[in-house]
Structure 1
Amino acid sequence: MTTVTESLPAVSRTAVGVAALRAYESNRPDRLFEDPYAAAFFEAGRSVLPTPGGDPLQDGLGALMYPQIVVRTRFYDDYLLEAGRAQVVLLAAGLDARAFRLPWPPGTRLFEVDLPEVLAFKDDVLATQDASPSCERVVVRTDLREDWAAALLEAGFDPAVPAAWLIEGLLIYLSHEDAEQLLTTVGELSAPGSRVSFEYRAADAPDGLIARARTTEGGEHVTRLWRGGLRTAVPEWLAAHGWQPSAVTRAEAAAAFGRPADGNATADGFVTAVR
């Protein structure tokens, strides 16, 4: 196999670390989800990580982020399947394998939107696993800071049909202006009945996940890429832009899945909204 991990942009390299955590969770007897491809992504891309060791929890940032990553993965799995929309759009799809590992209903069309380098690496690894999607998978190679909407429409997305949007782990890497623009574009492409979900975090919480990550030894390779995201009251922003939002804290989500909450898990969580 020929993989070009060194060509992965810095932000996208964090997806390799997330894959390592998903692989670790998939091996637990009490796992919240099973991702049979996560280990392959980690093995193929581990050389780009600052600490490419075998145990992702040996890394300080990995140990800190692990509870959040696994809870959000399960939360979003459930959200997408419960949404029951014929169109699903994963913005910054990264190395997630939902198109392959989730039991999609017949007729589901799933769009994976990400940088060409990321999707090339992803497809290269999946080819070695003889992976077959359980839905119609459409790959959209584009930069979300540019006119990604045109690329999505050209790939066959129908703005007249309700969609389920997932924006996983992306907004914190965007400036406030870029985050607003991305969410505004999502709204413009969303027919009535569409849904969207993403994380919210309180950047100023002294013991919240963001603050703890910034002081974790070895975490600067990730935290230096963070640009803040929406930086406003997320439910209120969504309500003002034509959505009906609901939010759940990470502590509440963890409890629903039978996992203990770590640290101040009430300072961040997940928002879901209906158009």
Structure 2
Amino acid sequence: MGFAQAFPVTSINNLPSLVCTFKRKLCVSTAKLSRDNDPLLLSATAFASLRYRESLRPEPLFLDPYAGCFVRDNTPEDVIQDLHPYCLAAKFIDDKLLHTVSLIDGLKQLVFLTDGMDTRPYRLQWPTSTIIFDISPEIVFKFAAEKLKVSDVGAKIPKGCIFCHIPLESSDLEQAMQFKGYNGNRPSIWVLQGFPMMTLANFEEVLSMISSLAMKGSLFLGELPACLTETDPEIKSNIRQWVDKLFMSKGFRVEMIKYEGIAGSYGKDFASGHNNSILFVAEQLLHSDDQMESWRREFQRIENEGTPFHLLISLLKEFLQYQWMYINMVYLPKEQV
């Protein structure tokens, strides 16, 4: 399962041909491209350039000491005068991530859905016993890894942490995650920024995958590109209702975050302009597939042991409680919930 067609930062006319894999019908690029015409590399480099230039500001939102490795040598080192929404979202995601991770006891699982040049695994201070999964295009990740190695900038995963890259082009991302050690019976945090998506259907597939893998109560946050909302006039007319419905259809309760509010919290001014990207934080309301399987085995065990009927009913009620909450939130009118 995988697709590798980028959402470009700048206009790119010659996009590679696509084929669709069987599982989940996600698209994978089949063209052989160079850095000069590969939309994946162009998009990832453009985002890295934004982080690089933000780091040069007198009072930057964040410092990315590694982003400069990915930009071209002739990239002008001019300072960005206005806050870019991508950088504002990156700062919000950084802070939310670190705060949430600090609240998790024991093993921490982070899953980054990225463009292949995300430096969060290196530039943020993760606590011991953190496993970081990076799902990104193979061509971009290899390019970035080589640049970091050659530049010798000291990019290292914090001591006591584990880093696993999973190619976006993998035939089955869920299986690849589990093979690398992902555990759906433990909390996880999922991050989406810069991830290559061309269509709303692509994002729905990503949302379905996370719904299957993420333990109940897990967090999913990030930034949806504006292009996903611009294809349907009905979406643009009531964006909040559309976002609620989209996420709830996969079992997530979502909150949209205003860029202006985030800028204000950091003491910055922000002119939204034509920015239509969606910054969000969502909570998983359903049990993961691993949790469901654990419940199935537990029911089988207690049934084989001849557990009294009233105890079985008690366990069943506990198991179904979240399902009733989910059904009420999705299918009943608001005034009935």
Same fold (TM over 0.5): yes
CA deviation after TM superposition for structure 1 residue 198, in Å:
2.3
Q: SS of the counterpart of 1:73?
A: helix
Aligned partners of 1:249 and 1:268 also within 8 Å: no
| Unaligned stretches of 5+ residues in structure 2 | 1-32, 285-337
Matched residue type, 1:75: F
Matched residue type, 2:205: Q
User: Which of the numbers 237, 240, 243 marks the counterpart of 2:249?
Assistant: 240
Which deviates the most, 187-196 or 80-89? 80-89
Q: Which residue is equivalent to 1:83?
A: 100
Q: SS of the counterpart of 1:75?
A: helix
CA deviation after TM superposition for structure 1 residue 259, in Å:
2.0
CA deviation after TM superposition for structure 1 residue 97, in Å:
0.8
Aligned partners of 1:251 and 1:266 also within 8 Å: no
- Per-residue CA deviation, residues 158-217 of structure 1 (Å, 9 max, x unaligned), is 12111100111336x3312221111111111011121101224453899xxx9xxxxxxx
Percent of matched pairs sharing the same residue: 24
- 1:257 to 1:95, Cα distance in 2 relative to 1, 3 A: same
Aligned partners of 2:188 and 2:215 also within 8 Å: yes
User: Which of the numbers 3, 17, 27 marks the counterpart of 2:56?
Assistant: 27
| Unaligned stretches of 5+ residues in structure 1 | 47-51, 211-229
- 1:170 to 1:274, Cα distance in 2 relative to 1, 3 A: same
Q: Which residue is equivalent to 1:258?
A: 267
Q: Any residues of structure 2 matched to 1:125-274 within 5 Å, and which?
A: 125-127=147-149, 128-134=152-158, 135-143=161-169, 147-170=172-195, 173-200=197-224, 201=226, 202-203=229-230, 233-264=242-273, 267-274=276-283
* Distance in 1 of aligned mates of 2:220 and 2:193: 10
* Distance in 2 of aligned mates of 1:93 and 1:106: 25
Q: SS of the counterpart of 2:86?
A: helix
* Distance in 2 of aligned mates of 1:266 and 1:130: 35
User: Which of the numbers 35, 38, 46 marks the counterpart of 1:9?
Assistant: 38
Matched residue type, 2:198: L
RMSD: 3.1
Q: Which residue is equivalent to 2:3?
A: none
Which deviates the most, 131-140 or 178-187? 131-140
Q: Which residue is equivalent to 2:88?
A: 71
Larger Cα Rg: Structure 1 or Structure 2? 2
- Per-residue CA deviation, residues 62-83 of structure 1 (Å, 9 max, x unaligned), is 988x611210110110121122
Q: Which structure carries more relative contact order (alpha carbon 8 Å, separation 6+)? A: 1
Aligned partners of 1:254 and 1:261 also within 8 Å: yes
Matched residue type, 1:81: L
* Distance in 2 of aligned mates of 1:148 and 1:232: 30
**TM-score, scaled relative to structure 2:** 0.62
- 1:232 to 1:7, Cα distance in 2 relative to 1, 3 A: farther
Q: Which residue is equivalent to 1:96?
A: 118
* Distance in 2 of aligned mates of 1:73 and 1:142: 21
* Distance in 1 of aligned mates of 2:37 and 2:187: 32
Q: SS of the counterpart of 2:244?
A: helix
Aligned partners of 1:7 and 1:117 also within 8 Å: no
- Per-residue CA deviation, residues 129-172 of structure 1 (Å, 9 max, x unaligned), is 2321123211112327x52222222221112111100111336x
CA deviation after TM superposition for structure 1 residue 114, in Å:
1.0
* Distance in 1 of aligned mates of 2:276 and 2:172: 33
Count of matched residue positions in the alignment of Structure 1 and Structure 2:
236
Q: SS of the counterpart of 1:42?
A: coil
- 1:258 to 1:39, Cα distance in 2 relative to 1, 3 A: same
Which deviates the most, 71-80 or 147-156? 147-156
- 1:5 to 1:87, Cα distance in 2 relative to 1, 3 A: farther
Aligned partners of 1:205 and 1:267 also within 8 Å: no
Q: SS of the counterpart of 2:65?
A: coil
**TM-score, scaled relative to structure 1:** 0.75
* Distance in 2 of aligned mates of 1:56 and 1:231: 36
Matched residue type, 1:24: R
